[in-house]
């Protein structure tokens, strides 16, 4: 079933036309003059709302499209009026690399999910690579689960990985609750997660053809004839045909042209007939040249969708200074014309881009090879005596210092932004609005970052919307607040992000996970106010049904 065909399990409004005030259970009630809920025709709208929550079940009991006064509820009710701030469903970030165990110095469950919570993200889905072991086997998943337990501030689900030779693990991983699978069509940058060939893809497609899952691709592939041969991705080999200095962003950009993305997507589409019922998905789409291919395939009935990332919508290659490797990711951030093309596609009524995610993929500052002035900005650690390379190789301090700082080819590729997505998107959307129309309304942000991301990972029955029966995952958003991204706002483990120092419009005030407030800006306990200051996030391991 295509994502947009999934029937809505909880139509709005609910039968509850009177407040549920006859129960003995003390309620939590959040109200605001502005919330993103559903109208009677099942359209997302901004409306006044009274949201009643059961603290016992952590679910939404009822939503009324009006602000009821506290006096409508029993005296023991926890009643909070957030007017004029927006009540939104907690975001579902369907693409996050948490890297634990194995590369926990890059990111971990605790720090990554704290960052998520601080930005109104209430569910993250962890990618199958960059932890050791990767999530390419059931035992790898079990290691992940063991590492995650008790550490998560928001709910966490897991993807599995497709690599050569693990086809027999795919169905057991579906049974174990993974939300989908990712495979690479080009070197991933880490040894334990090799790229797949077309025969591996064909085998994965036939294996998963009738399973309730999604098969996702890192869609970059080196076309057979090209003067740009790539850079062995995130390892230190320079391109065989460098077109300029390795510290210049344009050299890096031209080493991974749009043809890498279109060629990879053509490869996936050429095999799609093997699994006509299996949803296919392109992660982190950057090149707009891929959009017509995807649209044409969808028109033919191929079940394929794409996601793009906050950075492709907010950043542009022209603005990347030489050596500023905080901007390196794969596929690359392209020029501002490409960026406009992505925004235009998002406003297309049948956009091939159905979701926006962070692709939060951090590493240690050393592996980013930041030039001096940037490494100071990022908190400039003293170079340790030994540096652990991407694949565990040990470099002495001297060897590490010989590496050219600001080399876009040798630097690890990945951008840190989990928890910053909502302000990033809102800042860009409002900056791009003309006097008549914003390119995305707040309802579109909710659709792209919560409703559709939840659908993509088979969690619409629990997550991604303010509807009765769903988990009470709520983000309180002050959409007018302007603020600057300082180190204190970057709660992920390594404070290295291209957004540092940028002015944002819109700030998350509170985050609620299953009816419990976990984050409160300027609240006690360092703003993390969950049960006695303890993480309340749960692991999502239920078998996917749709
Ligand atoms: Zn990728
Ligand atoms: Zn990724």
What is the per-residue pLDDT across 373-417, written as a single tens digit (0 to 9) for each?
888 766 656 667 777 888 888 888 777 777 789 999 999 999 999
* pTM attached to this predicted model: 0.93
Give residue 512's pLDDT band: very low, low, confident or very high (50, 70, 90).
Answer: very high
Residue 18 resides in a domain: no
The answer to whether residue 344 is domain-embedded is yes
- Residues whose CB is less than 8 angstroms from the CB of residue 453 and which lie 6 or more positions away in sequence, other chains included: 91, 92, 93, 94, 307, 355, 356, 357, 464
Which residue matches tokens 């036939």?
A: 206
| The pLDDT value given to residue 390 | 87
In this predicted structure, what is the pLDDT of residue 387?
A: 79
Residue 234 belongs to domain spanning: 91-421
Mean pLDDT over 465-474 rounds to 98
**Closest listed ligand to the CA of 125:** 2
| Interval between CA 157 and ligand 2 midpoint (Å) | 15
Is residue 167 domain-resident? Answer: yes
| Among candidate residues 235, 239, 193, the one with its CA nearest the CA of residue 218 | 193
Q: Say how many Å lie between the CA of residue 56 and the centre of ligand 2.
A: 35
Secondary structure string (H, E, C) spanning 65-133: CCCCCHHHCCCCCEEEECCCCEEEECEEEEEECCCCCCCCCCCCHHHHHHHHHHCCEEEEEECCCCCCC
Distance 413 CA to ligand 2 centre (A): 10
Give pLDDT, residue 238: 45
Centroid of ligand 2 to alpha carbon of 15 (angstroms)? 41
Amino acid 388: pLDDT: 82
| Sheet of strand 121-126: strand arrangement | 91-96, 121-126, 155-158
Distance 220 CA to ligand 1 centre (A): 9
The answer to whether position 170 is within a domain reads: yes
pLDDT level of residue 227 (50, 70, 90 thresholds): low
Number of domains composing the chain: 1
Residue 431: is its pLDDT beyond 90? yes
Phi first, then psi, for residue 354 (nearest 5°) are: -100, -15
Considering every ligand atom, which ligand is closest to the CA of 188? 1
User: Judging by DSSP bridges, how do beta strands 86-89 and 91-96 pair with one another?
Assistant: unpaired
What is the pLDDT, as a whole number, of residue 236?
Answer: 41
Measured in Å, residue 18 CA sits from the centre of ligand 1 at: 48
| Span from the CA of 186 to the centroid of ligand 2 (angstroms) | 13
Separation of 414 CA from ligand 1 center, angstroms?
A: 9
CA–centroid distance, residue 96 to ligand 2 (Å)? 7
**Strands 78-81 and 86-89, sheet pairing:** unpaired
- CA of 82 relative to ligand 2 center, distance in Å: 35
Q: Is the pLDDT of residue 473 over 80?
A: yes
CA of 133 to the centre of ligand 2 (A): 16
Which ligand is in closest contact with the Cα of 193?
1
Q: What is the pLDDT of residues 346-373, one digit of tens each?
A: 999 899 999 999 999 999 999 999 998 8
- pLDDT higher than threshold 80 for residue 237: no
| 10 has a pLDDT exceeding 60 | no
Structure tokens at 443: 């309802």
- What is the distance between the alpha carbons of residues 95 and 331, in angstroms, rounded to a whole number? 15
CA angle 27, 29, 32 (to 5 degrees): 175
| Ligand lying closest to the C-alpha of residue 128 | 2
Tell me if 86 is assigned to some domain: no
Please report whether residue 176 resides in a domain: yes
8 Å CB contact between 289 and 223: no
Query: 299 in a domain, yes or no?
Result: yes
- pLDDT band at 228, cuts 50/70/90? low
CATH number of the domain residue 244 falls in: 3.20.20.140
- Identify the pLDDT of residue 60: 98
Residue 125 counted as domain residue: yes
Ligand 2 center–CA 234 separation, angstroms: 13
Report the chain's C-alpha Rg in angstroms.
23
What is the mean pLDDT of the segment spanning 139-153?
A: 97
Q: If you average pLDDT over residues 510-527, what whole number do you get? A: 94
Q: What's the CA-to-centroid distance between 360 and ligand 2, angstroms?
A: 7
Helix (H, G, I), strand (E, B) or coil at 328: coil
Q: In this structure, what DSSP letter does residue 333 have?
A: P
Q: Write down the pLDDT at residue 404.
A: 82
Residue-level pLDDT at 389: 85
């Amino acid at each position: 079933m295509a994502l947009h065909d999934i029937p809505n399990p909880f139509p709005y409004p609910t039968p509850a036309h009177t407040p549920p005030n006859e129960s003995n259970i003390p309620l939590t009630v959040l109200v605001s003059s502005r919330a993103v809920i559903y109208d009677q025709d099942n359209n997302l709208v901004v409306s006044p709302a009274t949201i009643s929550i059961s603290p016992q079940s952590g679910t939404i009991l009822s939503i009324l499209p009006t602000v009821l006064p506290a006096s409508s509820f029993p005296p023991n009710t926890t009643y909070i009026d957030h007017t004029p701030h927006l009540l939104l469903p907690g975001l579902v970030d369907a693409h996050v690399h948490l890297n634990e165990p194995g590369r926990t110095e890059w990111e971990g469950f605790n720090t990554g999910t704290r960052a998520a919570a601080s930005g109104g993200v209430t569910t993250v889905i962890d990618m199958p690579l960059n932890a050791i072991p990767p999530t390419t086997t059931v035992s790898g998943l079990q290691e992940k689960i063991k590492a995650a337990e008790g550490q998560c501030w928001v709910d966490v689900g897991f993807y599995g990985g497709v690599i050569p030779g693990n086809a027999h693990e795919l169905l057991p991983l579906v049974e174990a609750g993974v939300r989908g699978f990712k495979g690479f069509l080009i070197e991933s940058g880490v040894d334990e997660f090799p790229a797949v060939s077309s025969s591996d893809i064909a085998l994965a497609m036939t294996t998963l053809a009738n399973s309730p899952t999604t098969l996702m691709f890192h869609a970059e592939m080196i076309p057979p004839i090209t003067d740009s041969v790539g850079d062995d991705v995130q390892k230190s080999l320079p391109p065989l045909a460098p077109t300029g200095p390795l510290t210049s962003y344009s050299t890096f950009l031209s080493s991974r042209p749009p043809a890498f993305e279109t060629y990879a997507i053509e490869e996936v589409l050429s095999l799609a007939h093997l699994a006509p019922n299996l949803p296919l998905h392109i992660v982190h789409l950057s090149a707009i040249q891929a959009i017509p291919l995807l649209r044409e395939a969808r028109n033919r009935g191929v079940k394929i969708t794409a996601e793009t990332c906050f950075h492709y919508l907010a950043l542009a290659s022209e603005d990347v200074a030489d050596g500023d490797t905080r901007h390196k990711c794969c596929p690359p951030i392209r020029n501002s014309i490409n960026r406009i093309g992505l925004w235009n596609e998002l406003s297309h009524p049948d956009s091939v881009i159905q979701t926006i995610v962070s692709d939060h993929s951090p590493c240690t500052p050393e592996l980013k090879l930041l030039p001096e002035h940037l490494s100071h900005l990022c908190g400039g650690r003293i170079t340790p005596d030994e540096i652990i390379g991407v694949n565990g190789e040990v470099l002495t301090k001297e060897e590490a210092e010989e590496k050219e700082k600001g080399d876009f080819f040798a630097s690890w590729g990945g951008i840190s932004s989990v928890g910053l997505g909502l302000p990033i998107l809102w800042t860009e959307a409002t900056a791009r609005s003309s006097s008549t129309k914003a390119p995305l309304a707040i309802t579109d942000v909710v659709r792209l970052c919560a409703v559709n991301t939840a659908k993509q990972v088979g969690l619409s029955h629990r997550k991604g919307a303010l509807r009765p029966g769903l988990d009470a995952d709520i983000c309180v958003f002050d959409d007018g607040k302007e603020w600057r991204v300082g180190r204190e706002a970057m709660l992920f483990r390594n404070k290295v992000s291209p957004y540092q120092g940028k002015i944002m419009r819109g700030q998350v005030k509170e985050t609620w996970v299953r009816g419990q407030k976990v984050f409160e800006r300027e609240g006690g306990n360092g703003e993390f106010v969950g049960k006695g200051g303890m993480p309340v996030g749960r692991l999502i391991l239920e078998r996917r049904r749709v």
